[in-house]
Amino acid sequence: MSELFGLMQDVPLTVDRILDHAGTWHGTREIVSRDAHGAVERTDYAGLHRTAKQVSAALAAAGIARGDRVATMAWNGARHLAAWYGATNMGAVLHTLNPRLFPEQIAYIASHAGDRLLLVDPACAPLVGPLLKEAPSIERVIFLCAADQLPATDYPAVAFDDWIAPHAPEFAWGGFDERLACGLCYTSGTTGNPKGVLYSHRSNYLHTLMTLQKDTLSLSQRDSILLVVPMYHANAWGVVYSAPAVGAKLVLPGMKMDGQSIFDQIEQEGVTFSAAVPTVWQGLLQHLRATGQKFSTLERVVIGGSAPPEALIRAFQDDYNVEVIQGWGMTETSPLATLSTATAQVLEQPYDEQVRRKGMQGRLVCGLELKLTDDDGNRLPHDGKTAGRLKIKGPTITSGYFGGEGGDVLDEEGFFDTGDVSTIDASGYMQITDRAKDIVKSGGEWISSIEIENIAVAHDDVAIAAVIGVHHPKWDERPILLVQPAPGATPSRDALLAFLDGKIAKWWMPDDVVVLETIPLGATGKIDKKLLRQQMADYRLPELAA
């Protein structure tokens, strides 16, 4: 019997269609942007559409063609967003560089990607001169600013507004295969050199549809979105596409991430939704508690990057009536893959059980597959108790790294190993117990550093908590708790151990507590355990130090 095909139009799923839709059907919906000096500029989706067309024309005039890499190194702003769509919509590859990385890492990434143009925030100007010496592929530098804000440099550069001014907003977008490369983002490189994840138009478009589901971000035209998560961080969790897709108001905060600045923008712009890593929200909560201020419009926040402690979830929900949704994903997953939205069954449970579920990484987005395996690749049960290596598969999951780095990354069933150790329960809720490289292995058993950290950070004297394993001659490794004090606090070893007592298994109890002035954070706001281990390289457990 011959196959029968549907009679539907075959339209490529390319991201230019997202901005075309926003510019046509949500043209007057506002985009608010704040620069490094605090100055606010306002445009709308129609204006973004016109500017992005000019960017495409300017790129073409500069010799940029399909597949060429165009780099940005900038904070969240309207010019950055126009550069983003201007590059992707004409078939170039938008490569976001993280300005918080070490200069040598930025140079490695730009060179490895073969970036040809660099569009950069004026606040990042000190990074550019050294970068150009180490990344010879970069032919031209455009600062994302008006002419009167152009930094003084010892290399040729032009202001964004002057660069696009000669070009009419009439460039023809699309007309290419949906599998064409669209964006390039490098992993944070916690082990070895960073590796590039190359998104396609199709994967980004499908990811957009996934994020708009009710049980994911549930965005609408009625939302006002404060995009705190940086645009250089894994597609800004997809919001750079999902907000225009529905015509939500978009508020771009620039580089000011302190509690006062974020609160002011939430209130001034009627923000209903925001997304950021836990450290940002902890800073905002500290500001609210110090000032006694309350939200008047904020309804929900998505927290990702690392697991939010239960105390943070309860504070937002109990004290400020803001729903907390935890999202999990990684650069390799576009990034959103699971979210901790409640099922009907969970909503019937007592409030404490609902909060416990919020602390899990959540349930899988439609279109993806998850499995747990042991180290030999054998599948493990979804019983909520058995921990295994978390593996994922689907149209928004990487099949390999740019340039062939890392070799074959898929198993025989086509699943990607996330590097996380997790459980999945019978209701489909996934919970990460640790990164495979961070888990503490004591006496042949696993101790979850994440679980201990989330409990410890709930103590009033603790701002940031981290658990690492240190050598022990009998048990191979034992956990120690490292804490950064809350402002004005003086944590004590005995008080913190007493706080943990009864909340974790006895054999999980840290063998020591070390108070550090600061705990290092990586370029995406996560605790940098690689650097932390280096700092603690000479540490010895008290029982072994004598």
Token output for 378: 């054998």
545 CB burial (10 A radius; 0-12, 13-18, 19+): exposed
Alpha carbon distances (Å) from 535 to 191, 449, 481, 511, 518: 16, 18, 14, 18, 11
- For the record, the structure tokens of 394 come out as 């689907």
Measured distance CA(523)–CA(454) in Å, rounded = 21
423: annotated active-site residue: no
The residue from 30, 446, 475, 526 that is catalytic is 446
In 135-221, where does DSSP find H-type helix?
160-164, 201-211
CA 103 to chain CA centroid, Å, is 20
Identified catalytic residue from 43, 51, 187, 396: 187
Beta bridge partners of 391: 371, 417
**Catalytic residue list contains 328:** no
Catalytic option among 437, 441, 445, 507: 441
Contact 312, 304 (CB under 8 A): no
Amino acid identity of 327?
G
* E strand residue ranges, 29-79: 30-34, 40-44, 69-73
Q: Is 187 marked active-site?
A: yes
CA distance 215 to 96: 28
C-alpha–C-alpha distance, residues 500 and 508, integer Å: 10
What is the phi/psi pair of residue 524, to 5°? -110, 15
Strand order in the sheet with 388-393: 369-373, 388-393, 416-424, 430-435
Catalytic residue among 178, 269, 332, 453: 332
Active-site residue, 191 included: no
Active site residues: 187, 332, 441, 446
